[in-house]
Structure 1
Amino acid sequence: MNPLRQEYPRPQMVRKHWQNLNGTWDFEYDFSKSGKERNLQKEPNFPHKIQVPFCPESELSGINNKDFLNAVWYRKTFTIPSDRKNGCLIINFEAVDYYCEVWVNGEYIGSHKGGYTPFSFDITSFVSEGENTLTVYAEDDTRTGTQPSGKQCSEYNSTGCFYTRVTGIWQTVWLEYVPKNYIKAFKIVPDVDNCKVHLDLSLSGKCSRKKLNVTAKYDNRIVGDTSIKVTGSSAKLSIDLSELHLWQPLDAKLYDLELQLEGDNQLDTVNSYFGMRKVEIGDKAILINGKKIFQRLVLDQGFYPDGIYTAPSDEALKKDIELSVALGFNGARLHEKVFERRFLYWADKMGYLVWGEYGNWGIDHTKASSLHTYLPEWIEAVERDYNSPALIGWCPFNETWDLHGHQQYDDILRNIYHVTKKMDSTRPVIDTSGNFHVVTDIYDLHNYKQDVELFAKDFEPMANGGEVFESFPDRQKYDGQPYFISEYGGIWWNSNDESGWGYGDRPESIEEFVNRYVGLTEVLIKNPSICALCYTQLYDVEQEQNGLYFYDRTNKFDDEVMAKLRVVMEQKAAIED
């Protein structure tokens, strides 16, 4: 069986020498979480086989067990060539849900908590030339109220807007061969106004007095370069660009970037890219490169019928963006999940606007103690995706409803907002999408009214310069920010199945569906006080049947209907110049 998902998993920091570990692994259940007591970390064989990086709940994993899996084990042998033992060997996990421990050749390497973000270990001193063994243990329980799990269902069967669970490894596992002194990470800060790009780098090893060379290219032409001497484990530099090409929505102009750290007859070379793009808050609008851009977004859940959280291929990630653009959208809320880095790569290349979210559902946001769990996980997500030009805003929480009679603990949202702004001053931050706002750069609401006339009445005063519509006036207060309807629609339609779930009453016909979709959308696009919309949703997910495509990404409607949906979404918005 040819292993799936063999593409390079980290497109913004590419090295030549690496090894993909996706494919067939040994696998074992650990329902009682007793495996470590039974020394499974040193067990030479597990009885089952699984296809990594697909979770055991998925069909593509070969396991397809959708029950609650409290803990699982993985085992994989890998070979180190003789010419790769001179530098450092890094093991990279793109994502493991939720808590993970790792052993190499029976020796404990380390652990990680958080189901959405990558982590790495230097395993140089634990391996030898030839065959080695990697063992991974993962714990996961969506019912605790102490771990963010997004749209994963805490009941046995999927229900409403909650879907099949994901346990263990669900993104690529890979080895990376680097010199003893190497570039560990870097932050790219485009400076459109001054035609510069700034870099803030983190280095590993003994890097003092090493030389760092950085070259920027556009269309294979050198448009800027610089060299500096490194004095420690970090470095900052700026590059003057001789040509300015702006990264625009649906018109992505990207620069190539090469970074080289040289010294002691070693050379670490990393290839990357960046986009010259700035985001600002304007009068009732979000500005991209100084221009009012109405954000025509769609809700993307990031679920797949055969891989659940994991796309079956890199092409499937790209296709979801193509399907969205085909209906007139220019971006998406990446909803209740941190999407794969490869998805953001395609968004960067295609000029597709995205909002970075986290799978906050599952954690009890009414308890102050949840900050201890949530903050470090969110920080990792912001650090991972900072360099993406497609990412134009952050939204750490979604719909922080009251739980068990307790209101959200406002200081959690306030602290997360301020930390996010401290980490990234270049993008707007929404504290919690839909409700209940504490401190936010963008004022967003969710409105799922299905009657077009009633929906229009909510926003009619705003269109004439009057008061804004407010869902919860006793719990939040509008303060003049750009106004965003970040969830609406959700029109329930699936002519092949009437047993599913959606918002409001099902239309009686396709004609009624189209009229409702057009009417709701035009209310928002034609309102000069609304800067963005987000339609729920791009495709059906399991029993939730309010997508514009079926779950398998095939068309729900014929070409004529799809054209009507596109036309209304692409019309010029009142707020646009």
Structure 2
Amino acid sequence: MECVIAAERLLQKKESASTDYPRPQFRRKEWFDLNGTWDFRFDDRNIGETEGWQNGGALNEEIQVPYAYQSHHSKVEEKEQYQIVWYEKTFGWELSEKNVYLHFEAVDYSTKVWVNGEYAGGHEGGHTPFHFQISSLLKDGENRVTVRVEDENSVEQPIGKQSWKVDNFLCWYTRTTGIWRPVWLEEVWPVHLEDVQMTPDIEASALQVEAQVQGHDHPVYVEAEVFFQGEWITTGGTWAKKGQRSVTLSLDVESDAADFRVFYWSPDEPNLYDIRFTVKDKATVHDEVESYFGMRSVESQDGRILLNRETFYQKLILDQGYYPSSLMTATYGQMEADLEKVKEMGFNGVRRHQTIGDRRYMYLCDRLGLVMWAEMPSSFKFSNLSMQRMMDETREMLAMHYNHPSVIIYTLMNESWGVNEVYHRTEQQAFVNALYYQAKAIDPTRLVVGNDGWEHTLTDILTIHDYNADADSMQASYQNKEAFVNGSPSKTSRKQAYAKGYGYRGEPVMISEYGGIAFGNHGDSDWGYGKRPESEEEVLNRLKALTEVIQETPFVQGFCYTQLTDVEQEVNGLLDHNHEYKFAPEKIRAIMQEQSDGFIFE
């Protein structure tokens, strides 16, 4: 009878073609979903490990994973704030020769994991994916995964827009604690592809591939086949010698099948090449992975931003990534609907603000044709601990974005948060520069903004935050480029463009936050920028006037409007709290598509 029960409890394999699959750019055929009902318990006295909760049977509540307990969808509905939470999930498993990986897409903040009471590993960082190889800890039949999460929500952690106070305030929102993105299992043969890094080179019409191969004690062949819209383009490969962990492939993507041209990725034509990786030897195919890439370049030149060597005028919208019933957790359908609305309103990109996007979100930007600014969530106190945490999690952020063609710019800090005295303190300036150089060392293919909005040190773009609600006043701030680039152009922040000892070096200029026009049903706690308009017409007129100021300033290379949706107490979205249009999208689109000094994608 026990064997029958165990068999019935075996996890069911799912096809990776499902929109629930958490890693669209690195697909194996099958995976195992661990989302759903887990056992759960708060540990406010920090007694769980001492009492052996990791050994099973001690958790007496339930939670819906992957939703933070603070969210409605978790079904916990607890309003008190707890620093330590525990999770437990049992599942049936049939052992095989394959290795098994346990994946967590994001857990906030410090995580410990046990499998059948044995320690599997730990991770620190609240926004990036991680995994453990757990094959040796599994057994035939019923297995148990136990997770302990500690989240102080400290100002020395990268917390982004999570409030570190008891209540929300201004533009800081409800906290997120624990598992808040999918948990899943994956089987691979002992010899397998661990990771790939794909770097397009449009001038050489080539793709450089660095492949990380695991588990081989004899030479194996790593092969890559490239297709475009179903047509074979090219095949390349190389042998990885015994013990060698990394191999580099160079793929010429030109072919008769593509009429001797390379199809570039851009917002107006988001062309994606499919690529199939195979790890094999003379007798055995060990691993197959399906992926994709885009051929595109991004650079700055003479004060302009170039995409594929063409001047690219960016029309971005700020996306905070919050949902009323699930906080920072979104389904594929929710993300897709949001990004389709972004396109419909005439924007050509998103600035993912103070949270790191789901890997499916990046896939959707790749597929739909939206450039993306990836941003590291901020900490809010300058200390040795906060610097270490920021450096570590930033490296993980860079790695998860590297292969996505939509990602063209990294923002490492925002508005001097966590480096509040960066204008004059050289040690804080050095830290921003350390983040900048780390990003450039890991990924030299993209542009990097060190401290977005003001008080720049090292940066590839001079970005300015200006929430001036008066178009005439705003226009006056940008009449004389030489005066404002080394001055204090924003009348709302009054901050200097550059920190002391730094100055303008010819970088492209962008207004990376503006607008923030609050409109909706305003309660006493509702928050937004500037004087409240009283009608939809007044909102649209202000939006049009402010946007025209930016578009008509010839040396400004683009903008980012604040923001996509209302979020909790903040009501300055073009979409409401439920992510529905506040205004007819064609009216927004008409404003966004007016002529500007740059290349416009229709």
Asked if Structure 1 and Structure 2 have the same fold, meaning a TM-score greater than 0.5 normalized by the shorter chain, the answer is: yes
TM range (shorter): over 0.9
Give the equivalent residue in structure 2 for 1:367.
Answer: 383
Give the equivalent residue in structure 2 for 1:276.
Answer: 295
Q: Could you tell me whether the CA contact under 8 Å between 2:510 and 2:557 is conserved in 1?
A: yes
Q: Could you tell me whether the CA contact under 8 Å between 1:490 and 1:503 is conserved in 2?
A: yes
Q: Could you tell me whether the CA contact under 8 Å between 1:66 and 1:165 is conserved in 2?
A: no
Q: Could you tell me whether the CA contact under 8 Å between 2:454 and 2:498 is conserved in 1?
A: no
Q: Could you tell me whether the CA contact under 8 Å between 1:207 and 1:233 is conserved in 2?
A: no
Give the equivalent residue in structure 1 for 2:25.
Answer: 12
Call closer, same or farther: CA 1:570–1:208 in 2, change over 3 Å.
farther
Distance 1:33 1:449 in 2: 48
Report deviation, 1:460: 1.9
Distance 1:526 1:46 in 2: 61
Give the equivalent residue in structure 2 for 1:317.
Answer: 335
Give the equivalent residue in structure 2 for 1:530.
Answer: 556
Tell me how many residue pairs correspond in the alignment.
Answer: 564
Q: Is 1:257 aligned with 2:275?
A: yes
Give the equivalent residue in structure 2 for 1:121.
Answer: 132
Cα deviations across residues 521-558 of structure 1 (Å, max 9, x unaligned)?
0111111100110000011000101111101011213x
Give the equivalent residue in structure 1 for 2:492.
Answer: none
Q: Is 1:574 aligned with 2:597?
A: yes
Give the equivalent residue in structure 2 for 1:472.
Answer: 496
Q: TM (normalized to structure 1)? A: 0.94
Counterpart amino acid of 1:94? E
Quick one: which of 376, 385, 389 aligns to 1:358?
A: 376
Alignment of 1:375-394 (within 5 A): 375-394=391-410
Counterpart amino acid of 1:570? Q
Report deviation, 1:162: 0.5
Alignment of 1:285-364 (within 5 A): 285-311=304-330, 313-360=331-378, 362-364=379-381
Report deviation, 1:195: 1.1
Give the equivalent residue in structure 1 for 2:65.
Answer: 52
Report deviation, 1:266: 4.4
Sequence identity, in percent?
36
Quick one: which of 100, 111, 135 aligns to 1:89?
A: 100
Report deviation, 1:402: 7.2
Alignment of 1:487-526 (within 5 A): 487-495=513-521, 497=523, 499-526=525-552
Quick one: which of 36, 48, 73 aligns to 2:86?
A: 73
- Secondary structure of 1:478's counterpart equals coil
Q: Could you tell me whether the CA contact under 8 Å between 2:315 and 2:559 is conserved in 1?
A: yes
Q: Could you tell me whether the CA contact under 8 Å between 1:447 and 1:488 is conserved in 2?
A: yes
Counterpart amino acid of 2:250? S
Report deviation, 1:252: 0.7
Distance 2:323 2:441 in 1: 35
Distance 1:455 1:273 in 2: 43
Counterpart amino acid of 2:64? Q
Call closer, same or farther: CA 1:454–1:101 in 2, change over 3 Å.
same
- Secondary structure of 1:398's counterpart equals coil
Distance 2:313 2:498 in 1: 29
Report deviation, 1:436: 2.0
Residue range with higher mean Cα deviation, 43-52 or 122-131: 43-52
- Secondary structure of 2:111's counterpart equals strand
Call closer, same or farther: CA 1:105–1:474 in 2, change over 3 Å.
closer
Call closer, same or farther: CA 1:155–1:269 in 2, change over 3 Å.
same
Counterpart amino acid of 2:193? I
Distance 2:351 2:93 in 1: 41
Q: Is 1:134 aligned with 2:145?
A: yes
Quick one: which of 104, 116, 128 aligns to 2:115?
A: 104
Q: Could you tell me whether the CA contact under 8 Å between 1:67 and 1:156 is conserved in 2?
A: no
Q: Could you tell me whether the CA contact under 8 Å between 2:455 and 2:498 is conserved in 1?
A: no
Call closer, same or farther: CA 1:403–1:234 in 2, change over 3 Å.
closer
Give the equivalent residue in structure 1 for 2:3.
Answer: none
- Secondary structure of 1:432's counterpart equals coil
- Secondary structure of 1:531's counterpart equals strand
Residue range with higher mean Cα deviation, 149-158 or 506-515: 506-515
Distance 2:421 2:361 in 1: 38
Cα deviations across residues 115-159 of structure 1 (Å, max 9, x unaligned)?
0111111101110122110000000011x3221101011122212
Report deviation, 1:100: 0.1
Distance 2:272 2:516 in 1: 34
Report deviation, 1:368: 4.3
Alignment of 1:185-196 (within 5 A): 185-196=195-206
Q: Could you tell me whether the CA contact under 8 Å between 1:6 and 1:20 is conserved in 2?
A: no
Q: Is 1:421 aligned with 2:454?
A: no
Report deviation, 1:60: 0.8
Report deviation, 1:369: 4.3
Give the equivalent residue in structure 1 for 2:208.
Answer: 198
Alignment of 1:427-506 (within 5 A): 427-462=446-481, 467-468=484-485, 470=488, 471-472=495-496, 475=499, 477-495=503-521, 497=523, 499-506=525-532
Call closer, same or farther: CA 1:325–1:398 in 2, change over 3 Å.
same
Quick one: which of 543, 555, 565 aligns to 2:588?
A: 565
Runs of 5+ consecutive residues of structure 2 not aligned to the other structure: 1-11, 489-494
Counterpart amino acid of 2:68? C
Distance 1:154 1:474 in 2: 28
Counterpart amino acid of 1:378? T
Counterpart amino acid of 1:424? D
- Secondary structure of 1:37's counterpart equals helix
Give the equivalent residue in structure 1 for 2:9.
Answer: none
Call closer, same or farther: CA 1:499–1:367 in 2, change over 3 Å.
closer
Counterpart amino acid of 1:240? D
- Secondary structure of 1:75's counterpart equals strand
Report deviation, 1:401: 4.4
Counterpart amino acid of 1:117? T
Distance 1:442 1:57 in 2: 37
Cα deviations across residues 294-348 of structure 1 (Å, max 9, x unaligned)?
100010001011110101x211011111111121111111000111001001000
- Secondary structure of 1:542's counterpart equals coil
Cα deviations across residues 3-38 of structure 1 (Å, max 9, x unaligned)?
999711001111113101011110100112221112
Over the aligned positions, Cα root-mean-square deviation in angstroms equals 2.0
Counterpart amino acid of 1:502? G
Q: Could you tell me whether the CA contact under 8 Å between 1:434 and 1:486 is conserved in 2?
A: yes
Report deviation, 1:498: 6.4
Distance 1:163 1:477 in 2: 34
Distance 1:223 1:405 in 2: 53
Runs of 5+ consecutive residues of structure 1 not aligned to the other structure: none
- Secondary structure of 1:376's counterpart equals helix
Call closer, same or farther: CA 1:38–1:61 in 2, change over 3 Å.
same
- Secondary structure of 2:72's counterpart equals coil
Distance 1:266 1:189 in 2: 25
Q: Is 1:174 aligned with 2:184?
A: yes
Counterpart amino acid of 1:379? R
Give the equivalent residue in structure 2 for 1:34.
Answer: 47
Q: TM (normalized to structure 2)? A: 0.90
Q: Could you tell me whether the CA contact under 8 Å between 1:215 and 1:226 is conserved in 2?
A: yes
Distance 1:563 1:547 in 2: 16
Distance 1:317 1:207 in 2: 42
Distance 2:429 2:386 in 1: 12
Call closer, same or farther: CA 1:436–1:367 in 2, change over 3 Å.
farther
Distance 1:35 1:160 in 2: 36
Q: Is 1:220 aligned with 2:238?
A: no
